[in-house]
Amino acid sequence: MLRVRRIALRAASWLVAAVALLGCQSGPSASEVAKAREAEAAAAAAAAAAAPPPTLEPGQSLSLFDGTALGLWRIEDLGQQQNVQVADGVIQLGWGNPGTAIEWTGPEAAVDYELRFELQRGKGSGDAYCFVTFPVGDQSCTLVLGDWVGVQCRSSGEDAAERGGFKRTALEPERWHAVRLRVVASRIQVSLDGEVAIEVPLVPPASASADAPRALSIATWSMVASLRELHLERLEDASR
């Protein structure tokens, strides 16, 4: 959808530029000016129609990466500028100093959703190298991937408590691993290559009516990692 919007805006810009060039030579005619204005209006309408909604509706699925550009991913500032590249259908998070991160700025889901992506470990050091911070109601939790898989959640306030899960299962270097993160009101579930690795019960249940869910972000720490096939789905049947 973003690609459609860019194409429409680019086409309108080209037409306006062409009319302007003609004007430098002999002045645009009334019909040329009218066509340029129509093109601008059509581009604006296409951009508005292509704009993604702020939240996903139940049953709606969204691709978070089209394989060619970061799109609605924003590079986070972690001190010295990090190296984020898109090539061959892959987002590569280069070695930062010490970290590299991207944050999703598009449609959100606070609970009853599933995040899927593929991850490949590159060069670097450390037993935990990829950190996915994801919304759970109006709070946030972190999925840790590396020589082990873990989920850590910490509630806010004076009575803040930590909860989570852990499993020793190393991600192999240079191999693509399929990761699935499912968040429903009663639990968080993480699957790795089609097998459930962690389930974290949520007591009390997470609120599905959170007005401002925490942003989704993916980071690497002293490590190079690649991402592809990123998808976000709002679950229609949250009991799944």
Beta-strand relationship, 113-124 and 90-93: unpaired
Report percent pLDDT > 90 for the chain: 35
Cβ-Cβ contacts under 8 Å for 134 (sequence gap 6 or more): 115, 140, 141, 142, 143, 181, 183, 214, 216
Q: Is the pLDDT reported for residue 2 higher than 50?
A: no
Average pLDDT of span 3-7: 40
Identify the residue with better confidence: 162 or 214: 214
Model pLDDT, residue 172:
79
Q: Is the pLDDT reported for residue 158 higher than 60?
A: no
Peptide bond into 28 cis (omega under 30): no
Contact 184, 111 (CB under 8 A): yes
Summarize pLDDT for 19-51 with one digit per residue, the tens.
Answer: 343 344 455 677 766 666 666 666 555 444 445
Average pLDDT of span 167-184: 85
Q: Is the pLDDT reported for residue 108 higher than 90?
A: no
Cβ-Cβ contacts under 8 Å for 213 (sequence gap 6 or more): 108, 109, 110, 135, 137, 138
Q: Is the pLDDT reported for residue 118 higher than 60?
A: yes
Q: How confident is the model at residue 113 (pLDDT cuts 50, 70, 90)?
A: very high
Report d(CA 100, CA 34) in Å as an integer: 48
Q: Is the pLDDT reported for residue 156 higher than 70?
A: no
Please provide the average confidence, as pLDDT, over all residues in the chain.
Answer: 76
Q: Which helix (H) or strand (E) holds 151?
A: strand 149-154
